[in-house]
Each structure stands twice: as C-alpha cells, then as structure tokens.
Amino acid sequence: MKTVRISGTALALTFFSYDTTVPFDVPAKSSETRSFPLEPTDLGSQAIGLLPVTVEVIDVGRESIASVETTGDVKGSLWSVYGAFGLGVLVLTGLSWAGALIALARRRLPPNRWQRAMRFLPAGIGTGLVAVISLSVLRLVAPSPTAEIPFIVGAAAAAFVLGYLTPHPGERRHPSDVDTVRIQR
C-alpha cells in the first residue's frame, strides 16, 4: 500500500479529496493496524460542515484496496468550495423566487396552469438544495440520498403546486371586490 485518500461528497459531487503517502509497507494478503498523523491543512478551504467521507487505501498501481465510509465534520470556512457552492445556490434560488413572484404580481405568468407551475419549479428545487446544504453546514444532518431526496422533491412539489394554483393572469376580481367610482354631474 502506498497512499490513503480521504474524499468528501455531497449531492453526488466531490467537494474535497486529500491524498497522503503512508510511511510503511503492508505485505500482500496480510493486514496490520497502524496509526499515523494526518494533517489536512488546506481542507478548511475546501469544505465546511457534516459531509459523507470515504477513506480509501490505494496501492502503488493507484487501485483502491479497501475503503470505509463515514461522516466527517469539517471545520472549514463558509468561503470554502462547499460553502461558496451553497451561497451560490442560495442566490440563484432567491433570484428564481423573485422572478416567479414578480411575474405573479405583475400578472405576467402564462395562462396555462402547467406552464405557471413549471415557472415555480426551479425555485422549489433550489429551496430543497438550500435546505440540504444548510443542514450540512449547520452540522445537523449530513447529505445523503435518504436526506437529500425528500427535501428536494418535497420543496419542488410544493413550489409546483403553488405555481399550479396561482390565479390566471387574465382573471379579474369578483364584482363585489371592485371599488365603485361615483361620477357626479
């Protein structure tokens, strides 16, 4: 064995990968338990929060010999790659919601219900992604398919239904809601 690789993923994306050379040999078809110091000094610039982590032992031919999956608590910066990704998703989600709600207020949504629902769908998906990333950064829940899918699908479905139920842009208010104007002669 030659190298130990530690990698962290979220939302099916690898946000950090750290390789270190180990100072000992383990003969083929044998096992040993060893301890060695690991100082991933630049890991804080790559991630923050709870992340699924894979620890792999790599042989001299760069093939994985064994691996273990666990959850890592990365004490990084909000400006790390993962933190910046989360902030970017937050900004895009906010813009998506703003665009959909402004179009609703200006009565500029499509007359077709399905098209209106599709206008709200990206904002819902973004909301689910923001929830998954936020829970990870706040160290409450590590991203995993069992945690990611319900948040993303649930938020997307809620936004879709909200868009579907928005009023038709050509619909007028009920006659009892219309203010009357008196004209004096």
- What average pLDDT does range 57-63 have in this prediction? 82
| pLDDT tens figures, 5-40 | 888 888 888 888 888 887 777 777 777 777 776 666
Contact call for residues 136 and 76 (beta carbons, < 8 A): no
The pLDDT of residue 185 is 60
| pLDDT tens figures, 100-140 | 999 999 989 899 999 999 999 999 999 999 999 999 999 99
Which residues in 109-141 are b (16+ Cβ under 10 Å) and which e? beeeeeebbebbbbbbbbbbbbbbbbbbbeeeb
